[in-house]
Chains A and B, each alone.
Chain A
Amino acid sequence: MDALTLIATVSIVTAGLTIAIGSIGPSLGESRAAAQALQAIAQQPDEANTITRTLFVSLAMIESTAIYCFVVAMILLFANPFWNWAIEAAAPGAGG
């Protein structure tokens, strides 16, 4: 397996694994937060506005880790510096 194929294979596999494993934790965390918020609204319906606002802020914070994983996967697939370098290194050899 030459360097070009190796870089492509590892990038693709890593991108898939990153987003697959990275989204497990935030999903579990967000479901717990939503469940607690629903319970709190059921116990105190008057405070629903504050609880909802706090819930949205907490969801955004918890979502951050999943977004980091997604950004890494996107970079690996579409803006991969190692792939670009390998393509540039292979181009003179193929054209010459």
Chain B
Amino acid sequence: MQISPDSQIVFTLPLGPLGDWGVSATIVNTWIVMAVLTVGGRIATWGIGPSAPVSRWRIGVELVIEMIRTHIREIGGGDPGRYLPFVGTLFLFTLTSNVLGVIPGFMSPTGALSTTVALALCVLVAVPIYGIVDDGLLGYLRHYFQPTPLMAPFNVIGELSRTIALAVRLYGNVMSGTVVVAVLLAVVPFFFPVLLQLLGLLTGVVQAYIIAVLAMVYIASASGGEPGAAENQTPSKETGA
């Protein structure tokens, strides 16, 4: 029994001198998620302009974007537009991939360790990039020596371990949801698998929120701001909502 879409090869691409590349189900399902997000976004922003939105799709998209911006502002402080592409993409990709998992035949790419490790590596790389852009290289490196230089190795180890935790948390939640439903299908045919699919939907949405919020918290803690710092700032400091 396969517990991960990584081990299922859908088709093989002959790459000439590089040999054959077996395209796994993870990659194919990631393409499906990308297509859903891109086409949905394009349809939702059709005829976008300064006038009031006339379609429900645009209102829905604006609602989601505004919610993400509000949360980013509350966690990190400052202008949410700098972090919105990264954190918003993390949230929307994980959300779409987990919610589409209830469709038969679709295997969530986030249920494969390869995808979640890739997302965690993106967060691992993004935190120093945002930190260096904000504070400069020396300012960012000084963060590792807070509160005392003795803590420097623990801060580095902590950074690596929270990246691993980010990957395994998302992978474990999504994979366990699908595997438990598959196991129950062999034992109790209809009622309990449906209930566990519901639970899988709930944990999928919660995990999407968690990974986005944690990425924002890590970026905010490395950029010198504290979580919740924005709530102490006066509203006049922000130029735009």
Whether B71 lies near A57 (C-beta < 8 A) is no
In Å, the complex CA distance between A79 and B6 comes to: 13
Q: Which of A50, A56, A68, A78 contacts B168 (CB 8 A)?
A: A68
Please choose the segment from A6-14, A35-43, A59-67, A85-93 that sits at the chain B interface, where 4 or more of its residues have CB less than 8 A away.
Answer: A59-67
Chain B residues with CB under 8 Å of chain A are 1, 3-4, 71, 74, 165, 168-169, 171-173, 175-176, 179, 206-207, 209-210, 213-214, 217, 228, 231
Q: Which applies to chain B's interface (DSSP): helix, strand, loop or mixed?
A: helix
Inside 8 A of A60's CB, which chain B residues have their CB? 169, 206-207, 210, 214
- The total of Cβ contacts below 8 Å across the A-B interface reads 50
Q: Give the dominant DSSP class at A's interface.
A: helix
- Interchain CA distance A42-B171 in the complex, whole Å: 35
A66-89 residues with Cβ-Cβ distance < 8 A to B are 67-68, 70-71, 74-75, 78-79
Residues of A at under 8 Å CB distance from B?
A: 50, 53, 56-57, 60-61, 63-64, 67-68, 70-71, 74-75, 78-79
Q: Flag if B3 contacts A79 (CB, 8 Å).
A: yes
Q: Are B172 and A71 in contact (CB under 8 A)?
A: yes
The 5 closest A-B pairs by CB, nearest first: A67-B172, A60-B210, A71-B172, A64-B169, A78-B3
